[in-house]
């Protein structure tokens, strides 16, 4: 399905994979500060923070998959099928439609702490954007350079979890995902020590590099992807330059890349990593690759007029870009 992660060097980075069997026609979308964004219940917000992210633009409205704002706050929504549940309208709270949740947070909040305050006032409803675009069952990661949280809207109501690993995939619910890491506490980037047999130690030796991580999941299930990306991210080392940081981030998410043919969802249909994103949330630069284009492409929101009133859109560069050397 999908995997999201955060990464910190000199700057703060956040991104995700979108794993699915078909594309909705994604675009890079920038909401300038004076773009009048319409909320289903709250009306139109005329002035707000600027945002950049990946979206399906429907009737001029950016339905964001993931985005970050000019203050360095990032957010992504990932599939949570079978567990997500939304509320009916509650006139005692600030009602927010699920499809507008990402811009509702990012246009008004500068930090995770700001978001936590807004979430106390929120009632998340399941009204669809249109008959053609039904309500998606999602949960979300919200993060800045200081902290990350996961929000899940379930039958019992809104649940908010601290997210100490800065990773999110899909099912099961986040508290179970996090508890599941306990099964892998012995994994290490270092070579293992021989403790087999205790006092009656056998003369065992590591016969390969990487044996400290024996048992690290490698399948494509959401729980396994959560463990794998958490391990790779938590052990990841890179320089703090922009090129080193961005390159390393794509390697982190590349550890759960999905290849066509490996995850069949129905006869003849296979889930693939449609795109992988990496947003330097500190600088407002959105990097991405697609399944057919491994070259990193970037859009810098600060090179656009962030005081404009119209949505700014960039089509994805999808064809493979090969650099010939002869």
Mean pLDDT of the chain, nearest integer: 96
Tokens of 295: 């070259």
The yes-or-no verdict on residue 202 having pLDDT over 80 is yes
Percent of the chain with pLDDT over 90: 94
Q: Which 3 state secondary structure label does DSSP give 253?
A: helix
Q: Is 70 exceeded by the pLDDT of residue 177?
A: yes
- pLDDT the model gives residue 197: 79
The pairing of strands 138-143 and 148-154 is antiparallel
Task: Work out the average pLDDT over 40-44.
Answer: 94
Q: 200 pLDDT exceeds 80?
A: no
pTM score, two decimals?
0.95
User: What's the topology of domain 2-172+240-315?
Assistant: Penicillin V Acylase; Chain A (3.60.60)
Active-site annotation holds for 263:
no
Q: Over range 253-279, report the average pLDDT.
A: 96
In this predicted structure, the answer to whether residue 199 has a pLDDT above a threshold of 90 is no
Q: How far is CA 148 from CA 5, 124, 162, 217, 240, in A?
A: 10, 20, 6, 24, 21
Quick: pLDDT tens for 300-309: 999 999 999 9
Quote the CA–CA distance of 208 and 191 in Å, as a whole number: 9
pLDDT (tens digit, 9 = 90+) per residue, 124-143? 999 999 989 999 999 999 99
Q: Average pLDDT of 247-261? A: 97
Question: DSSP readout, 37-103?
Answer: EEETTTEEE-S---EEEEEEEETTEEEEEEEEETTS-EEEEEE-TTT---BPP-TTSEEEEGGGHHH
Query: Would you say 115 and 142 are in contact if contact means Cβ atoms under 8 Å apart?
Result: yes
Among residues of the chain, what percentage have pLDDT more than 70? 100
Where do the structural domains in the chain lie, given as residue ranges? Answer: 2-172+240-315
Catalytic residue among 2, 51, 278, 279: 2
């Amino acid at each position: 399905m999908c995997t999201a992660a955060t990464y910190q060097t000199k700057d703060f980075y956040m991104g995700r994979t979108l794993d699915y069997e078909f594309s909705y026609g994604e675009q890079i979308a920038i909401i300038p500060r004076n773009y009048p964004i319409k909320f289903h219940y709250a009306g139109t917000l005329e002035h707000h923070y600027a945002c950049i992210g990946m979206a399906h633009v429907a009737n001029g409205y950016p339905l964001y998959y993931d985005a970050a704002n000019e203050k360095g706050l990032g957010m992504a929504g990932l599939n949570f099928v079978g567990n997500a549940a939304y509320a009916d309208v509650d006139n005692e709270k600030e009602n927010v439609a699920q499809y507008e949740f990402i811009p509702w947070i990012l246009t008004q909040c500068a930090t995770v702490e700001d978001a936590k305050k807004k979430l106390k006032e929120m009632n998340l409803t399941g009204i669809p954007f249109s008959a053609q675009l039904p309500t998606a069952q999602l949960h979300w990661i919200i993060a800045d350079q200081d902290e990350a949280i996961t929000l899940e809207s379930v039958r019992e109501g809104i649940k908010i979890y601290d997210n100490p690993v800065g990773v999110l995939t899909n099912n099961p619910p986040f508290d179970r995902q996090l508890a599941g890491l306990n099964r892998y506490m012995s994994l290490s980037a270092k070579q293992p020590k021989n403790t087999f047999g205790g006092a009656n130690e056998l003369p065992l030796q590591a016969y390969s590099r990487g044996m400290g991580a024996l048992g690290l999941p490698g399948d494509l299930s959401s729980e396994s992807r959560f463990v794998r990306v958490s391990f790779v991210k938590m052990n990841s080392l890179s320089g703090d330059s922009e090129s080193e940081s961005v390159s390393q981030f794509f390697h982190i998410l590349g550890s759960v890349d999905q290849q066509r043919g490996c995850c069949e969802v129905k006869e003849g249909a296979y889930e693939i990593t449609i795109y992988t994103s990496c947003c330097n949330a500190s600088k407002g630069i959105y990097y991405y690759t697609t399944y057919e284009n491994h070259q990193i492409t970037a859009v810098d929101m600060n090179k656009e007029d962030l005081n404009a009133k119209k949505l700014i859109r960039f089509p994805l560069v999808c064809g493979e870009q090969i650099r010939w050397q002869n």
